[in-house]
Structure 1
């Protein structure tokens, strides 16, 4: 029984997607939750495949992010998990069970095990918060007393117990999304799909929704799969991430790895908004060569998280010598690893510029010489 099911055991009436004998034969069932094997999707009338050759494992109880530019195939991929999209080729396995051959009854059971929340909430305006959350349980034929216990429990979980009689028009965007999350959890799902769940929210509300999702992941042990255009969302909540481009996987890995040292041009483009641009005043003064002995060397020092210990600034300054000016940047922890970059100038150092660069490489993972300024 899942951690989610333990919250209200009697509410979990659907048939598990795996069995004890299967778990014994396939130990990977304890970790791999969703698997895509050679997945492809082509829509009628389109010459280009929306998805092609997707091989991907999503681990149990992790928060997994899917990113990519518009049209990359993110929505198509996430919707194959609950069979809202039928793959053209390949397979989708949940707990090692191929869902491609499910009949209508098994699809109903599957979709009750997979919750989904949306960008625009999809609430019924004529129903109260309570009624919106209760509706899937009524459709499923759950007895009234059991429905009432479950709805009360979920509204408390998402912090809306005091809003149970309110209508969607009376709620803020964040509160509407909390209703959507509660509704997605009514059948004690094993998997929660998030389709741009924070894109319509302001930054402060986004942070509160991400904290709620993180709490749900930890408390209920759900596997959460989310797609988003917001790289900060991936950075703040996800364990691993995959980057899609034109329906193909171009990069994947732990968030700290992809964010700290992106390898593909698409990844670098998507992550660029998280990087502070070079100040215009500095850019206008940059020269490719020093004009005098007093010219300042401008370095961009990048820390990618390959070392779990945050490097000491005092060590850097002492090693480079001379006068060090920190122009901008910072180091922050992502998944317990230090990531970030510093833009510095070095003047009056006792070391030659080549030596300064070599010494900087002992501190930073990557060192880029931007030029010189007077």
Structure 2
């Protein structure tokens, strides 16, 4: 059986009721599905609700991001996919199969179909790169010739073929994570779980690891489930994202949609480091009403991704009239959509405040007056 067939091998599907599939037609195509999932830990002060009534469907072949602040329940959720965590309530279904009642033998089979990479690499320091990658195959009883072929292929895939004799202490952080990725792929998994896989890496190395994960997703057709507390990681690699807070789903959708028009305060807080605000001096000089007729009005225009068209500044400035300046802001392309915001100053416009807002909203989905400055 080839690797692709093995990755797509179904088990015994769960039959959904007609009402479920009519309301949520994606359920019958979900690779991973959480249904009313809950997790309670027993702490010293009593029970702690880590997850509550999680309803999610992850589609085959997508890169799905799970983000939230520390303690939001990200790790608890991702670890239910390979049953490293046993849910307290609800179900986890993979290829429509409820994995909750799996025997130990079926769990071993399941975990071989699900690779996992970790924040701190989890490599064995006394073994070489080759031996670290080969170890799961040896444990599974794979013949030596097959092990050698598989390890060689994977080290070439992750760009470490010339490091096969090196030990972890001789590798950089990015190289260690590449070893971890190769090791996670030895059993041709259908799903790859990434638990804060880039949190211990510098920005440049993070980009190289994200590029490798994107390549693996496209080349092997894997479903990748990635948890992080960094919105930049979600932006750069994921197709869809769910935001967790206190064990609950507070927002979910395509990445462009959540970035372009976040609805929940947690999402807005997580996005704040990526967004430019007004300089402190300008912010302190803002007034809600014009102090005199020559005061400059500040407008914040937001592009939420509903259009793929970038703002045409010439047309926009002409529509607003007067002396228009771009103070700051940024518009980027996320999933081929224009997302971002611009802060403009407008002086001596022939249009009043309401007219300026109306004209701005013809060119941007959202616009608001920030105030006036001298």
Deviation for aligned residue 1:357: 1.3
Deviation for aligned residue 1:276: 1.1
Deviation for aligned residue 1:67: 0.7
Given that residues 14 and 97 in structure 2 are in contact (C-alpha distance below 8 angstroms), is that contact kept between their aligned partners in structure 1? no
Q: Deviations over 1:102-145 (max 9, x none)?
A: 00100000000000000000000010000000000000000000
1:268 aligns with 2:268: yes
- Picking from 8, 11, 28, the partner of 1:18 is 11
Q: Deviations over 1:199-229 (max 9, x none)?
A: 0000000000000000000110000001001
Residue 178 of structure 1 corresponds to 178
Given that residues 13 and 97 in structure 2 are in contact (C-alpha distance below 8 angstroms), is that contact kept between their aligned partners in structure 1? no
Distance in 2 (CA, whole Å) between partners of 1:112 and 1:264 is 37
Given that residues 329 and 340 in structure 1 are in contact (C-alpha distance below 8 angstroms), is that contact kept between their aligned partners in structure 2? yes
Distance in 2 (CA, whole Å) between partners of 1:289 and 1:295 is 9
Change (3 A) 1:348 1:131: same
Q: Deviations over 1:297-317 (max 9, x none)?
A: 001111000112222111111
Report the TM-score, using the length of structure 2 for normalisation: 0.94
Helix, strand or coil at the partner of 2:41: coil
Q: Deviations over 1:283-331 (max 9, x none)?
A: 1221111122211100111100011222211111110011111111111
Distance in 1 (CA, whole Å) between partners of 2:211 and 2:327 is 32
Residue 35 of structure 1 corresponds to 33
1:115 aligns with 2:84: no
Q: Deviations over 1:164-223 (max 9, x none)?
A: 111100000000000000000000000000000000000000000000000000110000
Unaligned runs of 5+ in 2: none
Distance in 1 (CA, whole Å) between partners of 2:144 and 2:28 is 34
Distance in 2 (CA, whole Å) between partners of 1:28 and 1:284 is 49
1:164 aligns with 2:157: no
Residue 77 of structure 1 corresponds to 77
Distance in 1 (CA, whole Å) between partners of 2:338 and 2:111 is 39
Distance in 2 (CA, whole Å) between partners of 1:316 and 1:20 is 54
Which aligned pairs between 1:1-374 and structure 2 lie closer than 5 A? 5-6=3-4, 16-18=9-11, 31-45=29-43, 46-374=46-374
Distance in 2 (CA, whole Å) between partners of 1:15 and 1:226 is 20
Helix, strand or coil at the partner of 1:91: strand
Helix, strand or coil at the partner of 1:43: strand
Given that residues 69 and 229 in structure 1 are in contact (C-alpha distance below 8 angstroms), is that contact kept between their aligned partners in structure 2? yes
- Point out the more displaced range, 180-189 or 323-332: 323-332
Report the TM-score, using the length of structure 1 for normalisation: 0.94
Q: Deviations over 1:233-254 (max 9, x none)?
A: 0011000011111111111111
Given that residues 30 and 60 in structure 1 are in contact (C-alpha distance below 8 angstroms), is that contact kept between their aligned partners in structure 2? no
Distance in 1 (CA, whole Å) between partners of 2:180 and 2:173 is 11
Unaligned runs of 5+ in 1: none
Deviation for aligned residue 1:17: 3.8
Distance in 2 (CA, whole Å) between partners of 1:228 and 1:28 is 25
